[in-house]
Structure 1
Amino acid sequence: MAGRNWIPVRGAQGRHSRQAHADLPDGTYEREISKEGFFGPASFIHHRRPPTGWSSFEGPLRPRAFDLAKLAAGEESPWAAPVVLHNRACEVRFWTLAGAMPALARNADGDTLLFVHAGAGELFCDYGRLSYEAGDYLYLPRGCMWRLRPQGQTAVLVIQATNSHFGLPDKGLLGGHALFDPAMLRIPELDAAFEAHQAESGDFRVEIKKRGEVSVVTYPYNPLDAVGWHGDLAPVRLNVRDIRPVVSHRYHLPPSVHTTFLADRFVVCTFTPRPFETDPGALKVPFFHNNDDFDEVIFYHAGDFFSRDHIEAGMMTFHPSGFTHGPHPKALKNMLVQPKAATDEYAVMIDTRDPLEVGEAAAAVEDLAYVDSWKGG
């Protein structure tokens, strides 16, 4: 937290490295204990054995994994899609849609971020039309009216900033064009396809979600009837291919460096392909850490998830704050030497300040063996 007067400690004992995440003492495994999700003071403890080498793990802190691809498909409304995880500041749903939404949607509970896991199509909203494809983030400001018209089945991770807003992180010394240039953001267009959508006749239902309940407003005409707009607020589209990750060949950077969107009580990060570290002493896998201030969620979109074993695209892992975690035992074999030059993964990470609750639908598709996949390190 900015301005906090942390208790001043500068110490070191025993065998230790001078540089975090590099040049570890022979035969040791590093574990980071830090404050404020890698932004506060930190210490680095060197262990003889991997800190996740448990023989059993019981209780609510156990790591969990959900195969969201197994959730029931075909909900016509995002508000009928199953809730996977939620707390007072954040709600995550997984939504599959086979055809055009019969009604429009409006979220009065907060800003909405749609991550398109699969499929392609069109988004029609108050501001015009946006095409979409797999790997797109679609940002929808609170109160915006919208509907999707997919070309075949679309699968979407729906992330809500409850009573809050999405913004961009402060890129600091990296400059405003790091990670992605703002010019890569696409806004809707009032084009011929949007005008054709406006010409549709009949009754139009708008499903408005507020405090988790849905109200329905029916119009005898298409309410997406705008002829123009101006201002500095609008939906935008950003594809994961447009994100250029920050890299360091001598130091394994913390996941927070990949922050893409910020809300008041959580962040959304994006993992995209990047070169592995090349310095001989630098870690080539995520370091073991205690993230005691944030719950950690990762949705695996595509590729080879180098730090995880038995995880496939469409799955989600959930690591409650308070226990030590890091790479799987299989990934540890490549802790200092990687067989490939670069990672090949796309994933969305959500770190929440407040504890998350697991929805009933997610619990029904849980991989109960996930906690045991850490054994044997």
Structure 2
Amino acid sequence: MKKWISFPHRAGRHSRQAHVDLPDGTYEREMGKEGFFGPAAHFYHTHIPTGWSDFQGPLRPHAFDTNLLSEFGGSPWDAEQLLGNAHLRLRIWKTDRDMDHLVRNADGDDLLFVHHGQGDLYCDFGHLAYEAGDYIVIPRGCMWRLAPAQKTELLMVEATGSHYQLPDKGLVGPHAIFDPAMLDIPALDDAFETQRSDNENWRVVVKARQQLSTITYPFNPLDAVGWKGDLSVVRVNVRDIRPLMSHRYHLPPSAHTTFVAGRFVVCTFAPRPIESDPGALKVPFYHNNDDYDEVIFYHRGNFFSRDNIEEGMITYHPFGFTHGPHPKAFEAGKKAALKETDEIAVMIDSRDALDIGAAAERVENNDYVNSWKPKD
């Protein structure tokens, strides 16, 4: 058990409650430990904490437009890594044709988020239809392939060497955010039976230690006639996620955690009412998340805390970088111009620094760092 050095104290002009009733003319900045779970201090500044006039060096924030990516190949293993480290690998894969082979990841669990498209997934456990907004968790070692009915675009998040689990939901109980009963599993249905074949060669491309091996069978190895146990591919759609809300207090991103893995978490920002209490912040608070790198994939809607960020883009804020809403969003929040959000976004908080891949560098908006500068 951790024993933090803890001495709650107050000095000068400050709010009695974090994120509520800020002193007139001030901007709140949170500095904390362990993301949003450890001890924290709140500072009240007379200038916006992100109001820099110049920003030099590798710490700067990044924005990548994945809509500009074009070369993908016929296999998810063809997708180039955008961001990654020893525990996490993030890719975008786009495809419009049936896979002519199976894949199996021996390095870790895969999380597929369907940004566009619909179709069918076939795997060891059976057949599962998919559509935009689906999260699909594929356990390590499972064989699978896609048969798109529409052009499909996936955000792929590999938990290298670890496994996806559900978060501890604490006081709100296990059925909050989404009930585990909402998790769908594949079926051994007619579609699965139809895809079986005994008289043709099937390749299984296995990724292990980030290297590929091909195993060929004289039959389709997706030929299970039954299975049992408590391990499976599972699916949940963002429409079934019911975010935690407080009309009097802006909750931290950790309240929206959807999955946890070794050394990172995956959170979902889903539509919700905006805080209605007159004194509560209406936008994310400025903060230094000094222990985690933050990545957000923007799926749908109007991203109320960002300016000039579109669907299909990714932002990356490395740890140690003070960040928060863009100036235009902050001013709109103060005026309570919006009553609810309509955004859907996937956030990944990584406990270890992420490396930027060559594919991400090709589609980076290098002017993103200047988007926090005060407008003249």
State the TM-score bracket (shorter-chain normalisation).
over 0.9
Residue of structure 2 in register with 1:136 after alignment: 134
Return the letter of the residue paired with 2:197. A
In structure 1, what is the Cα distance between the partners aligned to 2:72 and 2:86? 27
Return the letter of the residue paired with 1:334. A
Residue of structure 2 in register with 1:19 after alignment: 17
The DSSP-based 3-state class of the residue aligned with 1:373 is helix
Q: Is the 8 A contact 1:282 1:336 kept in 2?
A: no
Q: Deviations over 1:196-249 (max 9, x none)?
A: 011374110101001111000011100000000000000001000000000000
In structure 2, what is the Cα distance between the partners aligned to 1:339 and 1:41? 32
The DSSP-based 3-state class of the residue aligned with 2:41 is strand
State the 1:10 CA deviation. 1.7
- Is 2:342 the counterpart of 1:339? no
Alignment TM-score, normalising by the size of structure 1 = 0.98
Alignment TM-score, normalising by the size of structure 2 = 0.98
Runs of 4+ in 1 over 4 A off after TM superposition: none
Residue of structure 2 in register with 1:50 after alignment: 48
In structure 1, what is the Cα distance between the partners aligned to 2:57 and 2:127? 47
In structure 2, what is the Cα distance between the partners aligned to 1:181 and 1:229? 24
In structure 1, what is the Cα distance between the partners aligned to 2:356 and 2:198? 40
Residue of structure 2 in register with 1:305 after alignment: 303
Q: Deviations over 1:319-363 (max 9, x none)?
A: 000010000011011233322221000000000000000010010
Return the letter of the residue paired with 2:370. D
Pairs within 5 Å for 1:90-239: 90-199=88-197, 201-239=199-237
In structure 1, what is the Cα distance between the partners aligned to 2:173 and 2:235? 21
State the 1:163 CA deviation. 0.4
Across the two proteins, how many residue pairs are aligned to each other?
375
Q: Is the 8 A contact 2:183 2:235 kept in 1?
A: yes
- Is 2:254 the counterpart of 1:272? no
Residue of structure 1 in register with 2:86 after alignment: 88
The DSSP-based 3-state class of the residue aligned with 1:362 is helix
Match of 2:58 among 57, 60, 64: 60
Match of 1:252 among 250, 253, 278: 250
Residue of structure 2 in register with 1:327 after alignment: 325
Q: Is the 8 A contact 1:281 1:336 kept in 2?
A: no
CA-atom RMSD in angstroms: 0.9
Residue of structure 1 in register with 2:241 after alignment: 243
Q: Deviations over 1:303-330 (max 9, x none)?
A: 0000000000000000000010000011
In structure 1, what is the Cα distance between the partners aligned to 2:331 and 2:338? 13
In structure 1, what is the Cα distance between the partners aligned to 2:198 and 2:372? 55
In structure 2, what is the Cα distance between the partners aligned to 1:228 and 1:146? 16
Q: Is the 8 A contact 1:272 1:347 kept in 2?
A: yes
Q: Is the 8 A contact 2:197 2:219 kept in 1?
A: no
In structure 2, what is the Cα distance between the partners aligned to 1:75 and 1:299? 22
The runs of 5 or more residues in structure 1 that have no matched partner are none
Return the letter of the residue paired with 1:273. P
State the 1:262 CA deviation. 0.2
Q: Is the 8 A contact 1:284 1:337 kept in 2?
A: no
State the 1:30 CA deviation. 0.1
